Amino acid sequence: MTINFKLNHPAARLALLLLALAASALLASVVFSRFVIGTLADDRFLLNREWLIAGTAYLPNSPRLQARLAEVELFDADPDLARADGAAARAVQLSPDDFRWRLILASVKEAEGDRAAAEVALRDALRLAPNDRDVHYRLANVLLRQGRLAPAIDEFRIAVDKNPLMLPVTLDLIWQVSRGNVEAVETVAGSDPKRRLQLAQFLVRQSRPVEAATIFRSIDRTLRLASMESAQLLNALIGANQMAIAHDLWLSMMSEPSAPNSAIYNGSFESDILKNFSQFDWTFGRNEAVRLSIDRAAAHSGNRSLKIEFLGRDTTTLGDEIRQLVVVRPGAHYRIECYIKSDGLVTPEGPRVVVTDRAGAWIAASDAVAAGTSDWKLVSFTFAAPTVGDAASAVYVSIKRKPKYAYDDPTKGFIWLDDFLMREE
């Protein structure tokens, strides 16, 4: 259906023309106003505050322009805080349900030194946006600057719950303000296992290993084993020379107990070595001159042993490729025993079981394994643990082969090792 209007009368034509002009003017005004607001309120642009003052004078009822003026004024080199306060308050008045303007008002109030008013503005913002992590974090900081630690911690904890990436900087802040209060930082970390592991690492860095260990033990073993933070914590403790604590925590995660009265773990190689958790178990590195494996067909006792195949390379060297970090009592005397067998071993100087300090210096060693073929034989030797230095609380037990000369003939053949024991005498 088509509706036709006949405007034969000149007055009707004039009225329609005026109406069209008015509509066009209104549309142009709206478009221009939106352009002005969009341009001046865009925080991607660095604007002269005089432009914003002119903009708010032209469009005094735009909350976005008022808020932008407040921000620019606040961070100007020579701020007019009264103007910033008025603009922020006007933005809140014009758009009372937008929490963002209350955050700006809170910043202005803090700049003016009125933290109580800043807290009021932030609590109003929180009422409008109860799940916004930044509002909680801003409120927590204001409360902290007022000296109200307990309510600040509550707000920090909520903010960290919503954004765990905030935890490290928050722990540092609370630790400084609370003067090293472990309970305070523990409250901030909350009950999440991953964050508690981060807290434990933080406490190690603050030289509080005992408290770190307590928190670590409170976390379910399965969760600890599944988290890289656990390995990082153990490595941090070892790096801080907290050997006894690190070893105790490591043992608490192992499913297989160590041999009775033996300082060496997994001496019979019956347990699989857990990825990322070999701190006090055997570690195996690469060496082109040997092939290392766990042999399930040969054992002195149990079902497995360590097999080393020498591949016949000239001047075979075996260094730190097979070793275990063992906690010792400084100055104490220890005896190491193990069983070794060989098959077709051809060598000018056989491999040895060696004890070194953590810097790699030899402390003691067994006799060299003789060339040829032999069944399982008991190997035994004693040593005294170091008494000085940061590394005195741990040693390495390893299998080494040092060339007799700068060049010696190739070493080839096989040896097996099993049933390591290390006892204090």
The band of 51, judged by pLDDT with boundaries at 50, 70 and 90, is low
The band of 404, judged by pLDDT with boundaries at 50, 70 and 90, is confident
Q: What is the pLDDT of residue 10?
A: 62
287 and 420 fall within a common domain: yes
Q: Is the pTM of this model over 0.85?
A: no
235 and 318 fall within a common domain: no
Angle at which helices 99-111 and 63-74 pack, to 10 degrees?
Answer: 30
The band of 28, judged by pLDDT with boundaries at 50, 70 and 90, is very low
Which positions ≥6 away from 60 have C-beta within 8 Å?
66, 90
28 assigned to some structural domain: no
76 assigned to some structural domain: no
Q: What is the pLDDT of residue 27?
A: 47
User: Is the pLDDT confidence value at 35 over 60?
Assistant: no
343 assigned to some structural domain: yes
Report the pLDDT averaged over residues 42-46: 50
Distance (Å, whole) CA 73 – CA 80: 6
Q: What is the pLDDT of residue 396?
A: 97
Report the pLDDT averaged over residues 58-69: 82
Lowest mean pLDDT among 73-77, 115-119, 236-240, 333-337: 73-77
317 and 394 fall within a common domain: yes
Which residue has better confidence, 45 or 309?
A: 309
364 and 231 fall within a common domain: no
DSSP notation for 230-251: HHHHHHHHHHTT-HHHHHHHHH
| Final residue of a structural domain among 214, 236, 253 | 253
293 and 403 fall within a common domain: yes
383 and 311 fall within a common domain: yes
Angle at which helices 63-74 and 81-94 pack, to 10 degrees?
Answer: 160
Q: What is the pLDDT of residue 390?
A: 62
Q: What is the pLDDT of residue 291?
A: 96
Over residues 289-320, the pLDDT tens digits come to 999 999 999 999 999 999 999 999 889 999 99
329 and 375 fall within a common domain: yes
CATH classification at residue 323: 2.60.120.260
352 and 408 fall within a common domain: yes
Q: What is the pLDDT of residue 19?
A: 58
272 assigned to some structural domain: no
**Structural element, H or E, at residue 187:** helix 182-189
Distance (Å, whole) CA 97 – CA 117: 18
Count H helices, E strands: the chain? 15, 10
For residues 189, 192, 198 and 202, what is the CA-based torsion angle, rounded to 10 degrees?
A: 30
157 assigned to some structural domain: no
Q: What is the pLDDT of residue 4?
A: 56
277 assigned to some structural domain: no
**Structural element, H or E, at residue 182:** helix 182-189
Q: Could you give the number of structural domains in the chain?
A: 2
242 and 324 fall within a common domain: no
Q: What is the pLDDT of residue 29?
A: 43
Closest CA to 83 of 121, 122, 53: 53
Over residues 159-204, the pLDDT tens digits come to 999 999 999 999 999 999 999 999 999 999 999 999 999 999 999 9
Backbone angles phi, psi at 396, to 5 degrees: -105, 135
Query: What does DSSP assign to residue 95?
Result: -
228 assigned to some structural domain: yes
325 and 197 fall within a common domain: no
393 and 321 fall within a common domain: yes
Report the pLDDT averaged over residues 273-300: 95
Over residues 107-159, the pLDDT tens digits come to 999 999 999 999 999 999 999 999 999 999 999 999 999 999 999 999 999 99
Helices (H), 75-166: 81-94, 99-111, 115-128, 133-145, 149-162
Q: Domain span at residue 339?
A: 283-424
319 and 407 fall within a common domain: yes
CA count, 13 A, side-chain hemisphere, 197: 21
DSSP-based three-state secondary structure for 345: strand
Q: What is the pLDDT of residue 141?
A: 95
